[in-house]
Amino acid sequence: MSIASFIRKYGLLLSSLVTVAFAVGIAGFRVSENLGLAELQRTGTQRLELYATSLNRQIDKYAYFPATLGLERDVIDLVAHGKPLTDTVNRYLEQLNQRAGTLSIYLLDRQGHVIAASNWNRPDSFIGEDLSYRSYFHESMQGRPGRLFGIGTTRGQPGYYLSSPLLAHGEVIGVAAVKVSLEQLEQSWATVEVPVIVTDQNGVVILASAPSWKFTTLRPLPDQERRRLERSLQYNARPLPSLGLTREEPFGENAALVRLAPQVDVVGSSRLSGNFLAQAAPMGDTGWSLTVLSPAGQVSAIAWTRAALASVASALVGIVLVLLDQRRRHLRDRLRAREALQRAHDELERKVEERTRTLRAAQDELVHAAKLATVGQISAGLAHEINQPLAALRTLSGNAVKFLRRGDVATAESNLDRIGSIVDGLGTLTNQLKSFARKSSGTSGPVDVRRAVDNALFLLDQRLRRANVAVSTEIEAEQVTALCDANRLEQVMVNLVANALDAIEGTASPTLRLHGWREGTRVVIEVRDNGPGLPEHVRAHLFEPFFTTKESNRGLGLGLAISLEIVHHFGGMLTGANHPKGGAVFTVTLPAADIGETPWATTSRS
C-alpha cells in the first residue's frame, strides 16, 4: 500500500487518534500538575508554620529584653539625671551585650541622643549619636515597644532593633534599644530544605536562606518609595535591587506560582531559579512576612511524564480498539461472503439439478428415438417374416375349406390347428416388437440377463437365420441378474447383436457368441463375432455419436453412443475390443442385483 493510499484510508482515523491522545495528554498534565501542586502546597504550609514558629521563638527571646533594662535602677537614674552614672551603665550594658550575644545595647534620652551604649569604648561608639529619626524611637517615646529591621548607620551592619520606653513615675524619660544580628535569627533555619525569605513591611528581603537574596525587593520599588527609604537611612543606602520574582498565577489561598529568574552575577543561582510555589504568612506583630518557595519544576516534569504516558496509553488503547473493530468487521465480512457463497452454491445446485432433469428427459427422448430407429430397421426384416406366415395362412385356410367340402374333417381340423399356431407365433412377434418399442421409464430393478438376450435374439431372429449365423448363448436363465431396466438392456443387446450381424455379413461361417456371468458384485455380458474386428481408426471413435462406417441408409452412428449412455445410466461400463482369435468383442458390465446371489452364481463363467 502506498503512503498516499494509506493516508487516504487511515488519515481520519490517525488524526482522531492523535487528537484524542493529545487531549488526554493535556488533561493528564492538568490533573497531575494540580495534584502535584496540591501536595506541594500541603508540605509548603507545614514548612511555613514550622519556620515561622522557630523564627518567632528566636525573635521572642529578645522581645522583653529592652524592657528589662527599665528595671535597672542605675539605668533609670542615668536617663533621668544624666552624667555621673554613665561609666557604670556603659560597663553594665557592655557585659549584658556580651552575655546575651546581641550586637549592641544602648539608651536614648528624650531627644533621641545615645547616652549610654555597650560599645562605649569603641571608635565607632554610638554615644552622642542622634537616632531620633529611627521609627522605633518614636514608637517607644509614645510608650510602645518599637521594632525595626535596619542597617546601622555607623558600621553599616544590618540588624533587628527592639526598643522599649524607660519610665519614671509613669512618664517616658527615654528609650532602651537592643540590636540583634540577622545571623542570630537565621540560626533557626540552618537546615531548611527549600528557599525561605522574610520580607519586612517595605517588601525588602531581610532574611533569606540564600545570602545573595538579602536586601533585594520582591517587587521593583517605585521611585517615590525608594527615595523615602533612602531618606530614612533604614537600609543605609543599599541599592535594593529586585529579586526577579514574577508572579505567574495564583494557586489557592496565600499561594501563587512564581518564576524566579537566575541572577546573572551570582554563582550557583541556577539552582535557585525556575518555577516555585510561593506561600506567604505574616509574622505576628513584626509586620514582616515569611515566604516559602517550594520548587515546582519537578511537579511539571512529573506531570509532563505522566501526560506523555497517558497520551501513549490512550493512543495504544485507541489502536487496540481500532484493531478489534477491524477484526470484527473482517469477521462480519467473511461471514457475509460465506453466506453469499453458500447462497450461490445452493442456487447452482438447484440449477444443476434442474438442468440434469431436463437433460435426462432429453436423453430419454433420444434413447427412445434411437430405439424407434432400430424398430424401423427390424420391421423391414419382419415384413418378410410376416409375409411367409400370411401366405401359409392363406394356403392352409383355402385347403381347410376344400377338405371340409370333401368331408375330410380331420385334415381340415389339423389345418385349422396349424393356422392357430401360426397366428399365435405372429402374435408373439408383434407383442415382442410392441414391448420393445414401448417407452421405458429407465428405472432400475433386477433383470434376468438371459431373458433380455433371448428377447433381443428373437427380434433379430429373421436376420440371424437368413445370414445363417451360428449363435451360441452361455447364460444361465434366472441366475445372472443385473440391476437395470429390462427394456433398456434389450435395446443395448439389439444394438450390439445388430452391429455384429452387420460385421459378419459375407463371412464364411458367421458365428455369434453371447456369454454372460457374474463377477463379484457385477454382471458381465460379452457379445463376440467373427467379423473383421475393429480397425484402429474405428476404435478411436467407436462411441462417438454419429460415427459410422456404414452406408447412410444402414446406420446413423448412434447405436453404440446410446448403448454406452444406457449402460452408464445404470452405473455400468461398455467397451469394444478385438478378440485375439479375430472378430470384435463388446463387453457390458452392470451392477449385479442382490437376488440370485448364490455361491455358484458368483463363480466366473458359469
What does the binding site for ligand ADP look like in residue numbers (CB under 6 A)?
495, 499-500, 503, 529, 531, 534, 538, 542, 547-550, 555-557, 559-561, 584
Residue 174 CA to residue 165 CA, distance in Å, equals 6
> What type of residue sits at position 162?
L
> What type of residue sits at position 109?
D
Beta strands in 26-157 (DSSP E): 104-109, 114-117, 146-151
Residue 394: CB atoms within 10 A of its CB come to: 11
Residue 393 CA to residue 370 CA, distance in Å, equals 34
If residue 123 lies in a helix (H) or strand (E), which one and from where to where? none
Closest CA to 482 of 456, 435, 439, 444: 444
Residue 127 CA to residue 106 CA, distance in Å, equals 8
Residue 503 CA to residue 547 CA, distance in Å, equals 15
CA dihedral 303, 308, 313, 316 (to 10 degrees): 170
Query: Cβ 438 to ligand ADP, closest distance in Å?
Result: 22
- Pick between residue 180 and residue 496 the one whose CB is nearest to ligand ADP: 496
C-beta of residue 199 within 8 angstroms of C-beta of residue 289: yes
C-beta of residue 292 within 8 angstroms of C-beta of residue 255: no
Residue 454 CA to residue 461 CA, distance in Å, equals 10
Residue 450 CA to residue 606 CA, distance in Å, equals 13
φ, ψ of residue 581 to 5 degrees: the values are: -90, 10
Residue 321 CA to residue 316 CA, distance in Å, equals 8
φ, ψ of residue 511 to 5 degrees: the values are: -130, 140
The 3-state DSSP class for residue 105 equals strand
Residue 282 CA to residue 289 CA, distance in Å, equals 4
Query: Cβ 456 to ligand ADP, closest distance in Å?
Result: 14
The 3-state DSSP class for residue 567 equals helix
Contacts with 519 (C-beta within 8 Å, 6 or more apart), sequence order: 602, 604
365 HSE (CA, 13 A, CB side): 6
Closest CA to 232 of 370, 328, 105, 137: 137
Q: Which three cell numbers stand for residue 320?
A: 487496540
If residue 322 lies in a helix (H) or strand (E), which one and from where to where? helix 297-406
C-beta of residue 173 within 8 angstroms of C-beta of residue 111: no
Query: Cβ 470 to ligand ADP, closest distance in Å?
Result: 16
- Kindly tell me the sign of the dihedral angle through the C-alpha atoms of 528, 534, 539, 543: negative
Residue 333 CA to residue 330 CA, distance in Å, equals 5
- Pick between residue 243 and residue 534 the one whose CB is nearest to ligand ADP: 534
C-beta of residue 565 within 8 angstroms of C-beta of residue 553: no
Query: Cβ 569 to ligand ADP, closest distance in Å?
Result: 17
Q: Which three cell numbers stand for residue 37?
A: 501542586
